[in-house]
Amino acid sequence: MADFRTGTELVTSSECADHYDPCPVNEAEENQPHLQGVTGLRNLGNTCYMNAILQCLCSISPLVEYFLSGKYINALQKDCSEVATAFAYVMTDMWLGDSDCVSPEIFRSALGNLYPVFMKKTQQDAQEFLIYVLNELHEALKKYHQRKAYEKRSIPRCCRKMIANESSIITRLFEGQLSYSIVCLKCENCTYKNEVFTIISLPIPSEYECSLQDCLQCFFQQDTLTWNNQIHCSFCETKQEAAVRATISKVPKTIVFHLKRFDILGTMKRKLRTDIHYPLTNLDLTPYICPIFRKHPKYNLCAVVNHFGDLDGGHYTAFSKNSVTQAWYSFDDTRVSEIPDTAVQTAAAYLLFYSCQPFSIPTQKCKT
């Protein structure tokens, strides 16, 4: 799976507003039945970014079911199985355990063995962390296929999908493809470039208020490449200015939008606190999809990562919709509470998870 990041931004590591967070004991709730998939996570020392991502992935039923059912075991690559196995343990604790709060220490240790930065007690960017997690799960669970360049030649070049030589539960759920049409402004020759994605990073066109559709329109609008960004035209045989436009030629079942709130220009850095209005249901991506692939239903929101604070310190939380209760919950490390639909819309949203299919309750492996 290609590690393609559209306009990825890096947030510098810094001390976070959170700290080590032991699981609280609430005597009033001790006798209440524990809800599947509604489990707090201990903060291990500035690990709110990890907890928020795990809570969002925990809400994606097809992914959870793949691990709870034991299907992942047959796909495991022996030389890189530690992260996937640890992820399965955490998902099992969060869905099948009887505790209101669990520790993700085993998962952090597995990922930290590969990327020591995640073992440090410093804040990390949740979007970057998600990319590492998805890549490592894919590497551990991928299967190889006979490689082909493209699908049917009867499909217009601008809409052809690359057929990958490897796939996994991650590519089946999260991987999409962007197709770029590149037109030389001198000779008008048109070429196409395809790139896969697991996250789309969206620019924010306003400092105060806008909608998710405004961000999408800004991302997919035609752009002109000039000066140092000129492309080499094979017809003109020299660098020329060009017009570039992107469309989605493969739509993932679960699409993740990264709202580019952190703006770093040289030594100047700031956080955009724009209030971005995003729909909870019926997100329409039709205008941005290659016409022959406009068959997907509209998308519904299933999880949100929120960021509070600024670049030099902050805190991550998550909202997710539970497939058992069909209710929304707020996850702030060990603190979990049910929230109304109206509370899901906040100006702190940083990552948005949308799905084009309704989630059913994950099933576990039958006990023998």
- pLDDT, tens digit, 9 for 90 and up, residues 289-300: 988 776 766 899
Instruction: Provide, rounded to the nearest whole percent, the portion of the chain with pLDDT above 90.
Output: 69
Q: What is the pLDDT of residues 261-318, one digit of tens each?
A: 998 777 778 899 999 999 999 999 999 998 877 676 689 999 999 999 987 779 999 9
Q: Are the CB atoms for 46 and 121 separated by under 8 Å?
A: yes
Rg (CA), the chain: 21
Using alpha carbons only, what angle is made at residue 50 by residues 47 and 53, rounded to the nearest 5 degrees?
150
The whole model's pTM is what?
Answer: 0.88
Q: Look at residue 267 in the predicted model and tell me its pLDDT.
A: 74
* Per annotation, catalytic residue among 48, 56, 159, 184: 48
> How far is Cα 285 from Cα 294, in angstroms, rounded to an integer?
9
**Strand boundaries in 88-230, DSSP class E:** 101-102, 143-144, 166-167, 176-184, 190-197, 199-202, 209-211, 223-225
> How far is Cα 159 from Cα 247, in angstroms, rounded to an integer?
8
* Per annotation, catalytic residue among 138, 258, 307, 315: 315
The region of weakest confidence among 13-17, 52-56, 206-210, 346-350 is: 13-17
Q: Look at residue 310 in the predicted model and tell me its pLDDT.
A: 86
Per the annotation, the verdict on 34 as an active-site residue is: no
* pLDDT-derived band at 20, boundaries 50, 70, 90: low
Per the annotation, the verdict on 138 as an active-site residue is: no
> How far is Cα 107 from Cα 86, in angstroms, rounded to an integer?
5
The region of weakest confidence among 30-34, 186-190, 213-217, 344-348 is: 30-34
Q: Look at residue 2 in the predicted model and tell me its pLDDT.
A: 45
Q: Look at residue 15 in the predicted model and tell me its pLDDT.
A: 46
